[in-house]
Amino acid sequence: MRYLRRNPSLVVGIVLLSALALFVIVGHFTVDTSKSRPLSAPAVRAPSAEHPFGTDRQGRDLFATMVAGTPLTLRIGFIAGFLGVGIGAILGFVSAYYRGTVDAIIRGIVDIGLTVPGLLVLIIIAVSLRRGLTVDQMAIIVASLAWLNPARTIRAQVLSLRERGYVEVARLSGMSGPEIIFKELMPNVLPYLAATLVNSVSSAILASVGLEVLGLGPIDSPTLGMTLYWVNFNAALINGWWWWWAAPIVIILVVFLGLFFLTVGLDEIANPRLRRAI
């Protein structure tokens, strides 16, 4: 408990994300999520007792939309984030441990991949696969690039660990490559891995929201990004329908801030030098 006081970021992050989770869970019990489909409610109503978040132009109850959409957006983020870190971690470990040509190839691909602006490649992919994207397909698309950054960071981390004595000792005592990776290197990279994971999820959500705002997302789903797309499409800002864009913006803010504080908090655990450096 005392540690939590020294690491306020972690606390803030957990609080924010828990609040979001609570919102979604409670929301699921209080409202009928089918109301997130168009034509379930009178159009363009300001918030009232009946529709706490108001309704949009296509007749969606926005409260239901947020409750249904938030987990969808988060799901894309989690799937893509986990896949990204999973693949990235394996490649990072292999690359850093075995060095040589394997390292050169993987590193080359990662370096080039990271130079290219991810969103644009995702746009090309999404545009090509136009036919009715589902939420899970979005996740896969985002994941296709999400592994690059984790691969790089984990490779760097493992490289620095690899030089430490205990790896040499393990090798001399006859442990095989994969054994060393799992038993010696992995536990030391774990806190770092957690921070990378949260980072990856955050980037994935950003990428998916970006694609959706451009209109390239799953067009029937009430995800947060798609809601913003409709906001833009219907010029809700100019028309003064503030409730329509306020809700998704606030939720997205909470998501990103929550993940950010969580990352900072995890970073502090992984890297003690950053503790209260001020």
Query: What residues line the site for other proteins (CB under 8 A)?
Result: 108, 111-112, 114-121, 123-125, 127-131, 206, 209-210, 213-216, 228, 232, 237-238, 240, 242, 245, 249, 252-253, 256-257, 259-261, 273-274, 277-278
Q: Which is nearer to other proteins, 167 or 264 (CB)?
A: 264
Looking at the Cβ atoms of 31 and 122, the one nearer to other proteins is: 122
Q: Which one, 108 or 177, has the nearer CB to other proteins? A: 108
- CB 255 → other proteins: shortest distance, Å? 10
CA-to-CA separations, 142 to 84, 88, 189, 254, in angstroms, rounded = 9, 14, 25, 21
| Distance separating alpha carbons of residues 211 and 137, to the nearest angstrom | 13
51-84 core/surface letters (b: 16 or more CB in 10 A; e: else): bbbbbbbebbbbbbbbbbbbbbbbbbbbbbbbbb
C-alpha torsion 81→85→91→93, nearest 10: 170
Shortest distance in whole angstroms from residue 236 CB to other proteins: 10
Q: Encoding tokens for residue 55? A: 């309704």
We find the least distance from the C-beta atom of residue 54 to other proteins, in angstroms, to be 16
CB of 94 to other proteins, least distance (A): 19
* Nearer to other proteins among residue 13 and residue 27 (C-beta): 13
Which is closer to other proteins, CB of 167 or CB of 207? 207
Residue 266: burial class (beta carbons within 10 Å; 0-12, 13-18, 19+)? buried
For the bound state, the minimum distance from the C-beta of residue 98 to other proteins, rounded and expressed in Å, comes to: 16
